[in-house]
């Protein structure tokens, strides 16, 4: 035996017993001592079981078949159903005995089902025929099966109704549980439906209806007479009345189906098989989510495993499904897969009966659809209401049930497709909001357009005024920029320390000209812009060359030559080059500053003179000449090359730029207030010295030491620094 060792002890014992019984029924003879040795913890329970089993062996061989189905038996559908009180033509004659249980002598087996085997038997004490339902021995080993069997007997015993099979006795003998009930001579509605389907198939193959012998209901169905539908309505009415009685005493059948509805020879309908019944305040046999019943006939709430909402209305649905099948000979839902069938039952709407068979009366279709409503609240409130509506149909009176309106069908569809409806509602809401927003935007646009038309003339007038004002502003700006250019051409700016100011003025003019050119296509502005750009480029070159010229012209002073240690021969060799430089600095006699600045030879002259000086002077002498030049007062000595050599950072450069600008403003004031050239030169020299000292104060200690090294020793006494074109410092 292969039993899970980790299972619960009770479950493990139950598994051992079941496997032992199944082995015996297969014809095997398990070794009991080996079983006891394998499971010593259950030795006492197993020994008691074997003793009981030995006593059962005393029962006749046919009776031992009651212990469970024969393994060799065909596993297909049994000829009789759970109700098991129908007759079977292929059974032994009534005189043949199978054995006895208690007060009952078994005559023949009339049916098998999930909850037991039903025998036709004779109650010896009362000499009457009964139906004896016996629980298979294997099922008795499962506490839940045993409790459900007892529940069925107790539920049926509480019910005393003309259409419910009564229970006569309940008992157990030598471990075999049974109960006796009234024996019904007849057949189940399930067998009736099989006969009707066979008759329909024969009629279709032969082209005519062929009634079944001895079956008046089948004949009625074959001829499609209204009497058939009335007969069906009467049978279902009887079942509804029986179920209503059971509901009133607190019993819900939960397994209403054709197989559990018996039709006796007198045409009376009987409700049987309460094996899955639920009695009032009894919830111990059903777990949450457990699906009980026959899937094809169970209610949607049963199919969905909604234990809390399964009440008497589930029987109304199942009875409606039975009525549907009796009317159409087809089940409500026909999926073959179990899960698919449960899904159809829980969520799909049934096909109207008249869609399958146009001869079905409209009133019966309405009754069926109301009983088959997905929501329990939409069905008949009680089985008696269903029976009353069926009676109205039989009396040819209007039924109370009404076909679902379009609104009702829509509501049902919404409930079945809530996710889709939610998405559609979201889309609709989004579209509505979007439409509202677009409408508001259109309205705003229309309002703006109307206001624009109302004030169109006013805006045109204002636009004209703005154009006039813009033209005036443009002309004023153009005149101001032209003034910058004219100011840079003044003779006062033909002065070495102020050359940087000239460049700044022209660069400012370029920025304004560029802005004017971008804002307005004016050919004159564009031409002026290109001209000033060229002039600034020349000024940059001139500024570099003028610094070079100023440094070289220091060689005209004897004190500088003496400081450098130049011989007379060296001075004589340099004299022609220095004279050419001085001639350029002094300019033509016409004193036309504009023409003097336009001479293109300054860069070439400076380069040629620098070459002659470098060929004449030693490296040390040339370096000393640069040191003396760096001691000239004025911020022009702090050119880009000097600032780069000192390693100044951006904040220092910005501060030096501000010092230069302040010095240039002071220079303009000083230039305008000086009475004589000599006086102004002296004042300029003092001011530029202060400016250089302020710039030097921006240097850090390391930079300051480097600046002192770049300047070297102090310039010799008597050196005159050339600050203006007309000042020549050469001594004859």
How far is CA 72 from each of CA 27, 76, 91, rounded to the nearest angstrom?
A: 11, 12, 18
What is the number of helices (H) and of strands (E) in the chain? Answer: 29, 11
Q: What pLDDT is stored for residue 678 in this prediction?
A: 56
| Alpha-carbon gap, residue 625 to 316, rounded angstroms | 123
The Cα–Cα gap between 678 and 720 comes to: 13
Residues 686 and 674: their CA atoms lie apart, in Å, by 14
What is residue 416's predicted lDDT score, i.e. its pLDDT? 63
Phi, psi of 172 (to 5 degrees): -150, 140
**Catalytic site positions:** 255
Provide φ and ψ at 523, rounded to 5°: -60, -35
Task: Please give the Cα distance from 437 to 433 (Å, whole number).
Answer: 6
128-134 and 99-101 as β-strands: parallel, antiparallel, unpaired? Answer: unpaired
Residue with tokens 């208690």: 102
C-alpha triplet 119, 120, 124: angle, nearest 5° = 115
Token output for 533: 């750009």
Half-sphere exposure of residue 556, counting CA atoms within 13 Å on the CB side? Answer: 24
> What pLDDT is attached to residue 287?
41
211: which 2 tokens? 């009634």
pLDDT score for 193: 93
CA 681 to CA 498: how far, in whole Å? 13
Q: Determine how many CB atoms are found less than 10 A away from the CB of residue 429.
A: 10
User: Positive or negative CA dihedral for 385, 387, 388, 393?
Assistant: positive
625: which 2 tokens? 């000449």
Task: Give the count of alpha carbons within 13 A of 304, CB side only.
Answer: 15
The answer to whether 185 and 265 are in contact (CB under 8 A) is yes
Residue 558 neighbours by CB under 8 Å, 6+ apart: 731
Spatial strand order in the sheet of 269-271: 186-188, 261-264, 269-271
- Tell me how far apart the alpha carbons of residues 353 and 332 are, in angstroms, rounded to a whole number: 9
Annotated binding site: 133
Write down the pLDDT at residue 247.
95
What would the DSSP string read from start to end of 68-109?
S--TTS--S--SS-TT--S--TTSPPTT---EEETTEEEEEE
Where b means 16+ CB within 10 Å and e means fewer, 308-326 reads: eebebbbbbbbbbbbbbbb
The pTM score is 0.49
Integer Cα distance of 128 and 551 in angstroms: 150
CA–CA separation, 489 and 43 (whole Å) = 128
Give percent helix, percent strand, percent coil of the chain, each to the nearest 5: 60, 10, 30
- Tokens 């009887």: give the residue: 238
Which helix (H) or strand (E) segment holds residue 167: the answer is strand 167-173
Query: End-to-end alpha-carbon separation of the chain, Å?
Result: 138
SS3 117: strand
At 360 the pLDDT is: 93
- For the annotated binding site for ATP, the residues are 133
Tell me if residue 396 falls in helix, strand or coil.
coil
In 3D space, the residue among 652, 357, 639, 664 whose CA is nearest the CA of residue 497 turns out to be 664
Q: Could you tell me the CA-to-CA distances from 140 to 35, 61, 102 in Å, in that order?
A: 21, 19, 18
User: What is d(CA 650, CA 647) in angstroms, rounded to the nearest whole number?
Assistant: 10
**Cα R_g (the chain), whole angstroms:** 61
Which pLDDT score is estimated for 496? 54
Rounded Cα–Cα distance for residues 730 and 574 (Å): 13
Per-10-residue mean pLDDT for the chain, 732 residues long? 55 76 77 88 82 59 42 37 42 55 91 81 94 82 79 84 92 87 92 89 64 47 73 96 95 92 93 83 47 80 76 95 95 89 90 92 95 93 96 94 75 70 83 86 86 80 79 67 61 55 62 65 70 70 76 88 90 86 61 48 81 90 90 80 90 88 75 60 80 91 93 87 51 42
pLDDT for 202 equals: 79
pLDDT attached to residue 295: 85
pLDDT at 601: 67
pLDDT score, position 590: 37
Would you state the torsion angle of the CA atoms of residues 685, 687, 691, 696, taken in this order, to the nearest 10 degrees? 60
Q: What is the 3-state secondary structure (H, E, C) of 234-271?
A: HHHHHHHHHHHHHHHCCEECCCCCHHHEEEECCCCEEE
């Amino acid at each position: 035996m292969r039993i899970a060792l980790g299972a619960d002890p009770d479950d493990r014992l139950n598994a051992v017993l079941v496997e032992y019984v199944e082995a015996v029924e297969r014809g095997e003879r398990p070794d009991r001592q080996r079983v006891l040795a394998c499971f010593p913890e259950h030795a006492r329970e197993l020994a008691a079981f074997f003793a009981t089993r030995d006593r059962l062996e005393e029962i006749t061989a046919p009776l031992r078949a009651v212990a469970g189905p024969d393994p060799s038996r065909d596993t297909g559908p049994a000829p009789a159903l759970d109700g098991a009180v129908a007759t079977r033509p292929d059974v032994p004659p009534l005189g043949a005995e199978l054995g006895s249980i208690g007060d009952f002598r078994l005559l023949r087996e009339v049916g098998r089902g999930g909850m037991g085997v039903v025998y036709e038997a004779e109650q010896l004490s009362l000499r009457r025929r009964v139906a004896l339902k016996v629980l298979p021995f294997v099922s008795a080993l499962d506490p839940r099966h045993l409790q459900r069997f007892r529940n069925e007997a107790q539920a049926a015993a509480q019910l005393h109704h003309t259409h419910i099979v009564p229970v006569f006795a309940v008992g157990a003998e030598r471990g075999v549980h049974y109960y006796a009930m009234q024996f019904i001579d007849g057949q189940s509605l399930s067998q009736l439906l099989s006969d009707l389907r066979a008759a329909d198939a024969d009629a279709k193959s032969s082209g005519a209806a062929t009634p079944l012998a001895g079956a008046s209901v089948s004949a009625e169905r074959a001829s499609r007479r209204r009497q058939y539908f009335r007969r069906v309505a009467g049978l279902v009415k009887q079942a509804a009345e029986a179920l209503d009685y059971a509901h009133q005493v607190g019993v819900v059948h939960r397994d209403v189906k054709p197989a559990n509805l018996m039709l006796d020879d007198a045409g009376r309908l009987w409700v049987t098989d309460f094996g899955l019944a639920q009695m009032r305040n009894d919830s111990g046999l059903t777990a949450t989510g457990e699906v009980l019943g026959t899937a094809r006939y169970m209610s949607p709430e049963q199919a969905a495993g909604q234990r809390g909402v399964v009440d008497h209305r589930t029987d109304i649905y199942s009875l409606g499904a039975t009525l549907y099948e009796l009317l159409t000979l087809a089940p409500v839902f026909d999926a073959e897969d179990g899960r698919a069938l449960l899904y159809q039952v829980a969520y799909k709407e049934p096909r109207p009966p008249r869609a399958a068979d146009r001869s079905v009366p409209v009133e019966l279709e309405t009754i069926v659809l109301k009983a088959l409503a997905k929501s329990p609240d939409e069905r008949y409130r009680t089985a008696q209401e269903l029976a009353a509506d069926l009676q109205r149909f039989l009396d040819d009176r209007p039924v109370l049930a009404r076909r679902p309106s379009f609104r009702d069908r829509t509501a049902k569809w919404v409930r079945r497709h809530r996710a889709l409806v939610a998405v559609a509602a979201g889309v609709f809401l989004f579209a509505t909001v979007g439409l509202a927003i677009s409408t508001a935007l259109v309205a705003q646009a229309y309002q703006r357009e109307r206001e624009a038309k109302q004030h169109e003339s006013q805006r045109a007038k204002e636009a004209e005024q703005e154009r006039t004002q813009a033209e005036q502003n443009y002309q004023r700006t153009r005149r101001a920029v032209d003034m910058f250019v004219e100011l840079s051409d003044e003779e006062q700016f033909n002065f070495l320390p102020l050359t940087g100011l000239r460049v700044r003025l022209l660069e400012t003019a370029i920025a304004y000209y560029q802005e004017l050119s971008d804002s307005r296509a004016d050919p004159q502005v564009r031409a002026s812009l290109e001209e000033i750009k060229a002039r600034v480029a020349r000024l940059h070159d001139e500024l570099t060359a003028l610094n070079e010229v100023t440094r070289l012209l220091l060689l005209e002073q004897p004190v500088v030559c003496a400081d450098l240690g130049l011989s007379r021969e060296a001075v004589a060799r340099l004299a022609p080059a220095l004279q050419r430089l001085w001639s350029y600095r002094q300019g033509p006699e016409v004193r036309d500053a504009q023409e003097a600045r336009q001479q293109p030879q300054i860069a070439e002259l400076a380069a040629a003179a620098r070459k002659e000086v470098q060929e004449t002077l030693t490296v040390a002498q040339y370096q000393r000449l640069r040191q003396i030049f760096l001691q000239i007062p004025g911020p022009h000595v702090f050119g880009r090359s000097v600032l780069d050599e000192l390693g100044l950072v951006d904040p220092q450069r910005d501060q030096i730029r501000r010092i230069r600008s302040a010095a240039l403003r002071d220079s303009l004031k000083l230039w305008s207030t000086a009475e004589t050239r000599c006086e102004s030169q002296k004042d300029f020299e003092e001011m530029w010295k202060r400016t250089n000292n302020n710039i030097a104060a921006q240097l850090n200690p390391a930079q300051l030491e480097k600046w002192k090294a770049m300047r070297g020793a102090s310039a010799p006494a008597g050196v005159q620094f050339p600050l203006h074109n007309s000042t020549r410092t050469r001594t004859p």
